[in-house]
Structure 1
Amino acid sequence: MGGPKEQEKEKKDSVVSPTSSQQTVSDDDERDYSTKPEFYDSDLDDKDELWVANKRKGRHTDAVLSCPACFTTLCLECQRHEIYLTQYRAMFVVNCEIKDKKVFPRGNQKRRRNKERIAGQAAEESSQSGEAVRQVCCSVCSTEVGVIDEDEIYHFYDVLPSES
């Protein structure tokens, strides 16, 4: 038996490179294309469309609203504001979490921050002076997306609308 260098040389000589081997097989040769992939469904879009139609029960919506941070669906059925075109109101929502209570009085709007002003405008549509509204956030990423008033109507002002 030779030394360690000779044994190492014998190992290298016995290992054959896959590129020079006659037995190299490509991945395409090993795949069985007669069976459908496990996670692919060509009818998924049609199934999703039926699911949304069943949820809406034939009612019309102005948009489907999503969270601007994580794109989670927040509302399937809403009404667009007549004056403020980036605001929406809805009664039925999904993936929304109601946070702490906030009050937006009708008083001095010049000193409010922009988001509070927008939320105040949304809440004032259906509220009286000093009515309490609560912050609404995405339940997935906790991004503030709107407010809910005392009549339990959601006013969305920071969402991504999509065509329905």
Structure 2
Amino acid sequence: MDSPTSSLKTVSDDEEIDYSIKPEFYDSDLDDKDEMWMVKKRDGRTSDAVLSCPACFTTVCLECQRHEQYVTQYRAVFVVNCKVDKDRVVQQNAISSNVGKRRRDSEKRETVSADDETVNPVFCSTCSTEIGVVDGEEIYHFSNVIPSEP
């Protein structure tokens, strides 16, 4: 029995592919179709980025606005593939001062005073990575996401 390394001629996969036949799953118009779907979905509105989960790359927002001062933060009203933990409440000032930093004191984040606006954490519905918060007006504030060109 001859192993592939000891054979006189090894055939590569490229030599076995018949390029004269159109591939079954190829669509040369797919980029144009995707762009038309996005335009229809946004209904003429513009977006600063398309946001994805940093862990699994699932799209979480198609239409958002970049924060004026903190360029890695975004806000949005319409989201996809997100779940909100309504049982956990987080202080707004704790989030804004610690965005992007690993927090070891989860008790500090869950302490609520009457003066502070409270928010709920938002997670990717695919992998459960925490990606931001949602406030009482149902505006999502993303701080742990990957932006891409809209």
The answer to whether the superposition gives a TM-score over 0.5 is yes
Q: Tell me the residue number matched to 1:3.
A: none
1:92 pairs with 2:65 = no
CA contact (8 A) 2:47 2:62 kept: yes
C-alpha offsets along residues 2-34 of structure 1, whole Å, 9 cap, x if unaligned? Answer: xxxxxxxxxx9xxxxx979xxxxx988986655
- Bigger helix share: 1
Q: Tell me the residue number matched to 1:114.
A: 101
1:133 to 109, 119, 128: 119
Q: Distance in 2 between matches of 1:76 and 1:132?
A: 25
- TM-score, structure 2 normalization: 0.72
Q: Tell me the residue number matched to 2:91.
A: 104
Q: Distance in 2 between matches of 1:86 and 1:29?
A: 47
Letter in 1 for 2:47: T
Q: Tell me the residue number matched to 2:147.
A: 161
What residue ranges of structure 1 are gaps of 5+ in the alignment?
1-11, 13-17, 21-25, 117-127
- Give every structure 1 segment of 4 or more consecutive aligned residues whose post-TM-superposition deviation is greater than 4 Å: 26-34, 109-113
Q: Tell me the residue number matched to 1:54.
A: 40
Q: Tell me the residue number matched to 2:63.
A: 77
CA contact (8 A) 1:103 1:134 kept: yes
**Identity over aligned residues, as a percent?**
61
- TM-score, structure 1 normalization: 0.66
Q: Distance in 1 between matches of 2:91 and 2:65?
A: 22
What residue ranges of structure 2 are gaps of 5+ in the alignment?
2-6, 104-113
Q: CA deviation at 1:130?
A: 2.7
Name the larger-Rg structure.
1
Q: CA deviation at 1:159?
A: 0.6
Letter in 2 for 1:56: R
Give the RMSD, CA atoms, in angstroms. 3.4
In the alignment of these two chains, the number of paired residues is 133
Q: CA deviation at 1:36?
A: 2.0
